[in-house]
Amino acid sequence: MRIIAILLNWLIALIWTWRSTTARRNLPKLPNLLNESDSNQPATTPQITVIVPARNEDQAIEQTLRSLLGQQNITLEILAVNDRSTDRTGEIMDRIAAEGLAQNKSISIIHIKELPEGWLGKTHAMALAARQASAPWLLFTDGDIFFREDCLSRAHLYAEREADHVILIPTLIHKTFGERMMLSAIQALSFLATRPWKTRDTKSREAVGIGAFNLIRSDVYRGIGGYEGHRMEVCEDLKLGYQVKRNGYRQHVVLGRDLARVHWASGAFGIVRNLTKNVFAAFRFQPALLLAASLFVATFCLTPFCGLFGPWQTIAASLLALEAALGIYRCCERHISGISPVYVLLLPVATCIIVYMMWRSMIVTLVRRGIVWRGTFYPLAELRKNAGPLR
């Protein structure tokens, strides 16, 4: 048993070191939109249609739309979609639109009263707006994203030169201790599990999509079938990224601290609640896959801390693994999150909550036999029938 414990600790330490070293070497190499020079602006004013689907976002939608209206050096067609909101979201959209039109800004509001059968609310809202879009580029974003005034001009400048699909990693606003603990752990683990720097490699199957910022050429969006092709997809942002890569188009993940900011959720368990509908969907509603992944996450993250209380062989392995973990936390702090790497000490706590979140997503979905999203219930059988591969 002692030998097995020692071997397990060293295996995990080597995996930590390998994946952390790979991430630390490659994350800083991701293109940074802050390096785009204003002197490189094209002779003609670039155009983007921005699609903002929102349901019950009256706390954030005004700031989002104002930040879009304030974009510089770019012409925007803003299509804000009020998806059956029961709060003041639609009213706020109409007021901001009237102000924008008075300033000769192109902003239109689409009010959805009923959801057609066979659609998720968000995919329907985005597909409906995309049909009306006229610009050569589409930006799909959310109703709680705050854009710096030069965000879209920098993104467009890079996209025109380099890519067909650009995903900007948003800067997460963190207000509480619990949020910092959870977000730092989730980001670190996500960059250990995925390789966003590989998306630009057309031979790699690595694909990414982030709901906060999916900038895509209009003809590419329509060429891959748009959201019409996955009407019941919960992870619609990931599926869009998968479709782009599968069809051979250029996909780039880029950095840009504070260009697009979002406060994802309030508190550690607010993050848990927000992801309840997503996590099981990411595993394509397959319990065996989720259970295996949760076991791996628990073993991978908790073993190095447990090894500190064992013989010198496990202590040495644990210190190696924890040095690697600290390294990826530092890398995320420097390039993405701004969260102190000291939070690596709370990785065991965050891991337990993450595993709980994974199990909660599965159990709630199975018990309900479906998910509730944007005030609508979607049956599990229907979701499974439409759940294709994400990678």
pLDDT at 386: 83
CATH 3.90.550.10, the chain: domain bounds? 31-170+210-264
| pLDDT confidence bin for 29, thresholds 50/70/90 | very high
| pLDDT confidence bin for 383, thresholds 50/70/90 | very high
Show the tokens assigned to 255: 């950095």
How big, in percent rounded to 5, are the helix, strand and coil portions of the chain? Answer: 55, 15, 30
The predicted model gives 308-314 an average pLDDT of: 93
Q: How far apart are CA 86 and CA 98, in angstroms?
A: 21
Using the predicted structure, report yes or no on whether residue 39 has a pLDDT greater than 60.
no
CB 80 within 8 A of CB 158: no
Question: 31-170+210-264 sits in which CATH class?
Answer: alpha beta
CB 125 within 8 A of CB 83: yes
Using the predicted structure, report yes or no on whether residue 363 has a pLDDT greater than 70.
yes
pLDDT at 202: 85
pLDDT digits (tens, 9 = 90+) for 277-295: 999 999 999 999 999 999 9
Instruction: State whether the Cα torsion 288-234-244-196 is positive or negative.
Output: negative
| pLDDT confidence bin for 42, thresholds 50/70/90 | low
Mean pLDDT value across the chain = 93
Instruction: State whether the Cα torsion 372-374-377-381 is positive or negative.
Output: negative
Show the tokens assigned to 132: 């009306």
